[in-house]
Structure 1
Amino acid sequence: MDRLTVRLPPDLIRRFDAAAAGRGGRSRFLRSLIGGAAQGALPEPVAPLVSPRDAKLSLRLTADDMALLEAEAARTGLSRTQWTVALIRRRLHERPQLSPSEAIAFVGIQRELRRIGVNVNQIARALNTAVLEGKVLDLEVAQLADFATEIRAHLVGVQDAFRGNLDYWSDR
């Protein structure tokens, strides 16, 4: 048997319950109303109004599971729906799912890496165009090596963050 779910404002459901009380209760009364409405000729089939992007999934959880879900979602800075969608997308698409704070952190890392990249390009351009001798060249080469080390450290941090994100959303 199929199930039909309807969301109604509290006042309307109270009035419906009052009307249904003398007619066998909510379910029986609703079935009789639907049956009466369906007595006419069937309408021509139309294309479904729900696209894959609009599909909805409903879950029934125990109160304990819902409390755990809400606590875990809050801990990650997501709503329970966002957290559940992220979990499903991680499993389906095998890509990291970032919370708002993680996304902001990654934007900061990208900004820093761009800044370092600009500095490295300036140094490389200066080394290519200038004829430097002695200590000046040694200082430029040392600074370039420092930037390379800093870039590698940031890249390791990004890899660790992505690995941690993937581990979080994977089977435990």
Structure 2
Amino acid sequence: MDRLTLRLSPDLARRFDAAAAGHGGRSRFLRSLMEGVAQAHLPVPENPPTGGKSSKLTLRLGELDVALLETEAASAGLSRTQWSVALIRGRLHNRPQFTRPEALAFIEVQRELRRIGVNVNQIARALNTAVMEGTVLDLETAQLAAFSDEVRAHIAGLHDAFNGNLAYWSAEL
């Protein structure tokens, strides 16, 4: 088996061990997390980096600010650096900044909506070619309209989720 080695702050190691305790220990939990990530199909970024180098930004914060930053980052499931980068990118690009679980959830919702859309199209095509009389056709058309309304409601929910994410990362708190 291959071995990976990484350095962690004592605080992160302590928090990870606490989370891993209920999942069979550090190694087992880390393997399961890595397996989940390896099996996920993550989207390709729409605007891939142009090959520019990244730059290091150093911040000096007081103890209270660091404590608040760590609390906020932990509540979002991010490290201090990840949270700070997401905050800066959110402000600079005015685009949602998702954690990996959020991104995976949105991908799954997109798949489901696409599947439902295909089914609705098949129903519409069948209705267009079917020879039905009065009441039966009205019932089928009503069912199709209900599906359409449901899809619109889910899309509105996604829109609200994106707006909520943008609001979280915006300057207005």
TM-score (norm 1): 0.66
- Alpha-carbon spacing, 1:136–1:53, altered in 2? closer, same or farther (3 Å): farther
Match of 2:150 in 1: 150
Alignment of 1:87-98 (within 5 A): 87-98=87-98
Contact (CA 8 Å) 1:77, 1:100: kept in 2 or not? no
Match of 1:103 in 2: 103
Deviation at residue 91 of structure 1 after TM alignment:
0.9
Task: Give the match's secondary structure for 2:53.
Answer: helix
Aligned positions, number? 122
Deviation at residue 121 of structure 1 after TM alignment:
0.6
Deviation digits for residues 4-49 of structure 1 (CA, Å, limit 9, x no counterpart): xxxxxxxxxxxxxxxxxxxxxxxxxxxxxxxxxxxxxxxxxxxxxx
1:56 equivalenced with 2:62 (yes/no): no
Deviation digits for residues 82-137 of structure 1 (CA, Å, limit 9, x no counterpart): 11100000111111111223212211221221121011111111012211212321
Runs of 4+ aligned structure 1 residues displaced above 3 Å come to none
Identity %, equivalent residues: 68
CA distance in 2, matches of 1:119, 1:138: 19
TM-score (norm 2): 0.66
Match of 1:65 in 2: 65
Alignment of 1:1-172 (within 5 A): 52-171=52-171, 172=173
CA distance in 2, matches of 1:126, 1:118: 12
Task: Give the match's secondary structure for 2:58.
Answer: coil
Contact (CA 8 Å) 1:91, 1:170: kept in 2 or not? yes
Match of 2:32 in 1: none
CA distance in 1, matches of 2:153, 2:108: 15
